């Protein structure tokens, strides 16, 4: 009896993280409104990524377990925060959202250190994500024009997440490593 | 805080009036320049606090952002969209940069330019006064709203006056915007 093949939860986590991050940046640079960000944030960036994160537990991957579950919660919290503002439930001002982002920046900095030991593509993704969060922090505290800069920078972050997703999927379907992810930045 | 600011504004404007410089001392049910500036600043603060969920409030013609013969409208200079307008629901969601008055003045291009200044700015153009069947000279004060995850949102409100020079309103705004008396939002 052959062992049943299991999927890698990271492909869903990276898909949801990448896509929802991408559409928020489409909004940040002024291409579209906020509506799709709220609903995708709840379902794909939120629920799907969080479930993928919880599934990482059984793979023994603590980095993925923490990162996907946490960023899934980030999107759910952000979407609920925006919905709460609409219904006057614990209304969050721009300053409040700014501090929310500062906390996520510090959290991301911790994971960024871990990412440097995994592989080059993940290290680059988290470096871009950390820079993006810092730009958004600055945009919320005195430099609003950086919202657009953060928008383009975080599009690169989302694209990198999709690159790693494609690396995993293509390696599976082609039977060889089509998209290399490179060596860790710290060994 | 807003009422306190308004009190200071009144004092500043009274001083201007005493010096023969005051502008916008409208009669009866006509909105004043001071009201326009204060309501626009309050609207920018409201959007800072409430985010994009606050746009809908500005579409209510019976709401708090409509007073006397004036109202606050909200537009997106980056996305080229009218976000909210209590008197012209037909414009909401539509492009704005191509809108000109009967003299060919690109109204929203000028509002966006004036509103992007740190203290905001005044723009003069022709627009239909609510309830009137003809175009009137309108002077609108525009200011950028500082909001999460977006740039280029501005709020504006105007007064209808055939005589006041634009330069008088600009000078009054400079006095009202003294950073020591009027801290940033």
Cα end-to-end span (Å), chain A: 39
Three-state SS at A183 = coil
Where are the alpha helices (H) located in A29-61, listed in sequence order? 35-42, 49-55
Rg (CA), chain A: 17
The CB density around residue A133, as the number of other CB atoms within 10 Å, is 24
Instruction: From residue B90, give the alpha-carbon distance in Å to each of B93, B94, B126, B163.
Output: 8, 8, 18, 30
Contact between A97 and B51 using a beta-carbon 8 Å cutoff:
yes
**C-alpha to C-alpha distance for A141 and A152, rounded to whole angstroms:** 19
| Of B129 and B109, the one with more pLDDT | B109
Chain A residues touching residue B76 (CB < 8 angstroms): 30
pLDDT in tens, A85-143: 999 999 999 999 999 999 999 999 999 999 999 999 999 999 999 999 999 999 999 99
Please state the domain count of chain B: 1
Question: What number is the average pLDDT over the span B23-40?
Answer: 79
Does B156 map to a domain? yes
Distance, CA of A159 to CA of A129 (rounded, Å): 11
Distance (Å, rounded) from C-alpha A126 to C-alpha A112?
Answer: 5
DSSP SS3 for B57: helix
Q: What are the pLDDT digits (tens) for A148-175?
A: 999 999 999 999 999 999 999 999 999 9
- Closest by CA position to B158, among listed B59, B39, B29, B11: B39
Q: What is the pLDDT of residue B172?
A: 83
Residues forming a β-bridge with B147: B150
> Does the distance separating the beta carbons of B49 and A91 come in below 8 Å?
yes
Compute the nearest-CA separation of A66 from chain B (Å).
26
Q: What's residue A3's pLDDT?
A: 82
Helix boundaries (H) for chain B: 2-18, 33-50, 107-115, 166-176
Q: Is the confidence at residue B6, as pLDDT, over 90?
A: no
Q: Is the pLDDT of residue A186 over 70?
A: yes
User: Is B163 touching A (CB cutoff 8 A)?
Assistant: no
Task: Say if residue B28's pLDDT is above 90.
Answer: no
CATH code of the domain in which B128 resides: 3.30.450.20
At B139, which helix (H) or strand (E)?
A: strand B135-144
Mutation target to probe the A interface, by most A beta carbons within 10 A, among B148, B152, B154, B183 is B148
To 10 degrees, the CA torsion angle through B105, B150, A151, A139? 110
Average pLDDT, chain A: 97
Assigned domain for B41 exists: yes
Q: What is the rounded (10 degree) CA torsion for A162, A165, A167, A173?
A: -130
Q: Strand, coil or helix: what is A69?
A: helix
Gap between the Cα atoms of B173 and B168, Å rounded = 9
Name the nearest CA neighbour of A69 among A56, A82, A83.
Answer: A56
Strand, coil or helix: B24 = coil
Percent of all residues in chain B with a pLDDT value above 70, rounded to a whole number: 81
Domain membership of residue B23 (yes or no) is: yes
pTM equals 0.87
pLDDT of residue A124: 98
pLDDT at B71 over 50: yes
Helix (H, G, I), strand (E, B), or coil: what is residue B136?
strand
Which residue from B50, B144, B150 is facing A85, i.e. has the nearest CB?
B50
Residue pairs spanning A and B at CB distance below 8 A:
53
Domain ranges of chain A: 10-174
Q: Is the pLDDT of residue B130 over 90?
A: no
pLDDT band, residue B174 (cuts 50/70/90): confident
- Domain extent, residue B120, equals 2-176
Confidence of residue B27 (pLDDT cuts 50, 70, 90): low
* Per-residue pLDDT at B15 exceeds 70: no
The string of pLDDT tens digits covering residues A4-17 is 899 999 999 999 99
Average pLDDT over residues B4-30: 48
Residue to mutate among A94, A104, A132, with most B CBs inside 10 A, is: A94
SS3 A141: coil
What per-residue confidence (pLDDT) applies to A58?
Answer: 96
What mean pLDDT is predicted for residues B17-37? 66
Q: With respect to residue B185, please indicate whether it lies within any of the assigned structural domains.
A: no
Rounded alpha-carbon distances, angstroms, from residue B142 to B118, B127, B156: 11, 15, 4
User: What is the residue whose two structure tokens read 């629920």?
Assistant: A47
- More confident of the two residues B3 and B52: B52
For residues B120 and B40, is the Cβ–Cβ distance under 8 A? yes
**Buried/exposed B75-88: b ≥16 CB within 10 Å, e otherwise:** bbbbbbbbbbbbbb
Stretch A31-50: mean pLDDT, rounded? 96
Contact A52, A95 (CB under 8 A): no
pLDDT at position B9: 44
Q: Please identify which residue in the block is written with the tokens 């039977």.
A: A175
CA distances from A29 to A149, A155, B79 (A): 8, 10, 9
Tokens 């012209």 sit on residue: B88
Distance, in Å, from the CA atom of B52 to the CA atom of B36, rounded to the nearest integer, reads 22
């Amino acid at each position: 009896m052959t062992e049943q093949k299991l999927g890698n939860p990271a492909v869903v986590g990276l898909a949801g993280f990448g896509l929802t991050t991408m559409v928020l940046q489409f909004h940040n640079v002024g291409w579209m409104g906020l509506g799709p960000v709220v609903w995708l944030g709840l379902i794909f960036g939120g629920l799907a990524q969080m479930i993928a994160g919880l599934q990482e537990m059984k793979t023994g991957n603590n980095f993925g377990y923490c990162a996907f579950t946490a960023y899934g919660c980030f999107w759910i919290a952000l979407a609920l925060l925006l919905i709460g503002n609409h219904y006057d439930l614990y209304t969050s001002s721009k300053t409040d959202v700014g501090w929310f982002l500062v906390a996520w920046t510090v959290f991301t900095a911790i994971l960024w250190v871990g990412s440097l030991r995994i592989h080059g593509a993940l290290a680059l993704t988290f470096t871009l994500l950390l820079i993006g969060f810092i730009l958004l922090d600055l945009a919320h505290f005195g430099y609003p024009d950086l919202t657009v800069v953060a928008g383009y920078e975080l599009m690169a972050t989302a694209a990198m997440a999709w690159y790693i997703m494609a690396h995993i999927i293509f390696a599976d379907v082609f039977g060889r490593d089509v998209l290399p992810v490179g060596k860790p930045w710290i060994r | 805080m807003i009422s306190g600011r308004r009190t200071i504004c009144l004092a500043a404007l009274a001083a201007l009036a005493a010096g023969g410089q005051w502008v916008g001392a409208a009669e009866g049910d006509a909105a004043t320049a001071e009201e326009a500036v204060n309501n626009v600043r309050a609207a920018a603060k409201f959007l800072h606090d409430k985010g994009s969920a606050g746009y809908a409030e500005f579409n209510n013609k019976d709401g708090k952002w409509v007073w006397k013969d004036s109202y606050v409208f909200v537009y997106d200079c980056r996305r080229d969209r009218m976000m909210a307008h209590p008197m012209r629901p037909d414009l909401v969601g539509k492009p704005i940069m191509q809108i000109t008055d009967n003299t060919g003045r690109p109204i929203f291009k000028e509002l966006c330019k004036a509103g992007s200044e740190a203290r905001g700015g005044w723009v003069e153009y022709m627009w239909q006064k609510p309830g009137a069947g003809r175009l009137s000279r309108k002077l609108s004060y525009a200011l950028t709203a500082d909001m999460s995850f977006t740039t280029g949102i501005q709020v504006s409100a105007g007064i209808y006056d055939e005589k006041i020079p634009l330069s008088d309103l600009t000078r009054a705004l400079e006095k009202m915007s003294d950073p020591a008396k009027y801290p940033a939002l």
